[in-house]
Amino acid sequence: MARPTSGRAILGIGPEAPPPSGEPDPELKKAILAQVDALTFRLRVNLWSLLWRWRVFPWREFIDRLKVSEFRSYANRGEARKSLGWAGLTKDKDRWLFGVLGYRIPLFGNSAMRHELFHATQDLMAGLFGRQPWLPRNVLAEISAHLWGGPLMATAVFTVILALGVAAYYLCDFILTFIF
Ligand SMILES: [Zn+2]
């Protein structure tokens, strides 16, 4: 199905990511609602909301919508691998739908859940999920969600890129010692 008119996946820029179509997951719901109470998440969203729209973030409305949202697991491995984390609208487009692979993993799980939660704050403030796909907006939405929502994921990605760069440098250096 088309994306991201219907939602945002974890790196929401690349190939199509399917929404989670498995069973409802009440544990995921509990875990995500617990993230909303985390002081560090609230502080970041409050600051973002003020800086971006000069508005106090509507927490009451946000929590009320989360409470009636759908939280699902992925139906199979292929779906999970393509999506990792997903936030968007249900088929009827009347509620939010969330799926987060590995949300139980310490630290990583929190970061992944906050990332998807942050997309929901973007939807509440700017109707993100209902908009037509547009690359610059997608990229901005992702950067913003990584920065404000769950910085761990971005840190992990950058660390891998940096490590690869360092490894490439030493490999070249090693090879060059044989040439010169
Ligand atoms: Zn995302």
Per residue in 35-71, pLDDT (tens digit) is 999 999 999 999 999 998 889 999 999 999 999 999 9
Q: Which of 91, 112, 107 is nearest to 99 (CA)?
A: 112
Cα 170 to middle of ligand 1, angstroms: 33
Task: Calculate how far, in angstroms, residue 180's C-alpha sits from the geometric centre of ligand 1.
Answer: 47
Give 7-38 pLDDT, tens digit per residue: 666 555 555 788 999 999 999 999 999 999 99
Structure tokens at 73: 């697991």
DSSP secondary structure, 88-128, as one string: EE-TTSSSEEEEETTTTSTTHHHHHHHHHHHHHHHHHHH-G
Would the pLDDT of 2 be above 50? no
Strand ranges (E), the chain: 7-9, 70-71, 85-89, 96-100
User: Are the C-beta atoms of residues 60 and 114 closer than 8 Å to each other?
Assistant: no
Consecutive H or E run containing 144 = helix 135-144
105, 92, 109: which is closest to 10 by C-alpha?
Answer: 109
The overall pTM is greater than 0.85: no
Q: Which residues have C-beta under 5 Å from ligand 1, the single-atom ion?
A: 8, 12, 142, 145
Q: State how far the Cα of 92 lies from the Cα of 67, in Å rounded to an integer.
A: 17
Distance from the CA of 154 to the center of ligand 1, in angstroms?
A: 10
